[in-house]
């Protein structure tokens, strides 16, 4: 077993994220995490203090390594609904390449499994959804400059809900084209609603 000092907190969080993402929080024992990360119990406790703190650290790791690279196309200045379409397309292609059904969205999974009983996890879910909401609102306003601000906020919320549902659906379908059709239909309806 490697000594704990041979791993940084980020490396441990990255390995733990991959395990939690696929297996969930409650089904992951400390023994599972030791096997998945290659870090001893002592190393995990030294770096994070335990399973829950390690799990919470995975949210930041997820933002840095998954969300930021994927969502950058929407958060870039000047991003519009074409950018949103590109975001969905890239993520669906990624899931298809890795194999569907896939693990879905780590945050969406955690929202249903852990957040109802853990306020810190709920705060992480809200933080993630706020980020999506801001990005989508900006894209809507770029695509429809005259769109009422309150309407843009309302539609951005609908987009967050659609996104969560889409990635949740990716956990139970093997045909990526089903997801692509859902995106096309959703964006078509959205485009009509802001004309």
> 4 or 124, which is more confident?
124
Spatial separation of the C-alpha atoms in residues 1 and 19, rounded to whole Å: 18
Spatial separation of the C-alpha atoms in residues 159 and 87, rounded to whole Å: 12
**What mean pLDDT is reported for the chain?**
95
CB 59 within 8 A of CB 23: no
pLDDT band at 21; cut points 50, 70, 90: very high
Is domain 58-193 annotated with CATH 1.10.1060?
A: no
State mean pLDDT over 109-124. Answer: 97
Look at residue 1 in the predicted model and tell me its pLDDT: 46
What letter does residue 65 receive in the DSSP assignment?
I
Burial class of residue 87 in the structure, from the number of CB atoms within 10 Å of its CB (0-12 exposed, 13-18 middle, 19+ buried): buried
Could you tell me which residues come within 8 angstroms of residue 34 by beta carbon, excluding any fewer than 6 positions away? 1, 40, 41, 44
- Best CA proximity match to 95, nearest among 70, 77, 113, 130: 70
Look at residue 7 in the predicted model and tell me its pLDDT: 77
pLDDT band at 3; cut points 50, 70, 90: very low
Percent over 90 (pLDDT), the chain: 95
pLDDT above 60: residue 17:
yes
List pLDDT tens digits, range 137-182: 999 999 999 999 999 999 999 999 999 999 999 999 999 999 999 9
pLDDT above 60: residue 88:
yes
């Amino acid at each position: 077993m490697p000594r704990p000092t041979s791993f940084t907190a980020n490396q441990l969080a990255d390995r733990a994220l991959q395990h939690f993402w696929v297996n969930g929080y409650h089904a992951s024992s400390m023994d599972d995490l030791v096997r998945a990360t290659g870090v001893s119990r002592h190393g995990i406790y030294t770096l994070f203090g335990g399973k829950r703190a390690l799990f919470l650290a995975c949210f930041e790791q997820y933002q840095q390594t998954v969300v930021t690279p994927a969502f950058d196309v929407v958060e870039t200045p000047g991003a519009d609904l074409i950018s949103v379409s590109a975001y969905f397309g890239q993520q669906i292609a990624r899931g298809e390449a890795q194999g569907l059904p896939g693990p879905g969205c780590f945050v969406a999974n955690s929202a249903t499994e852990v957040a109802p009983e853990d306020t810190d996890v709920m705060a992480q879910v809200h933080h993630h959804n706020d980020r999506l909401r801001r990005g989508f609102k900006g894209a809507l306003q770029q695509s429809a400059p005259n769109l009422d601000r309150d309407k843009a906020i309302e539609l951005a919320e609908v987009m967050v809900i659609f996104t969560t549902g889409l990635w949740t659906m990716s956990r139970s379908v093997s045909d990526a084209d089903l997801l692509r059709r859902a995106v096309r239909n959703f964006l078509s309806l959205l485009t009509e609603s802001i004309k």
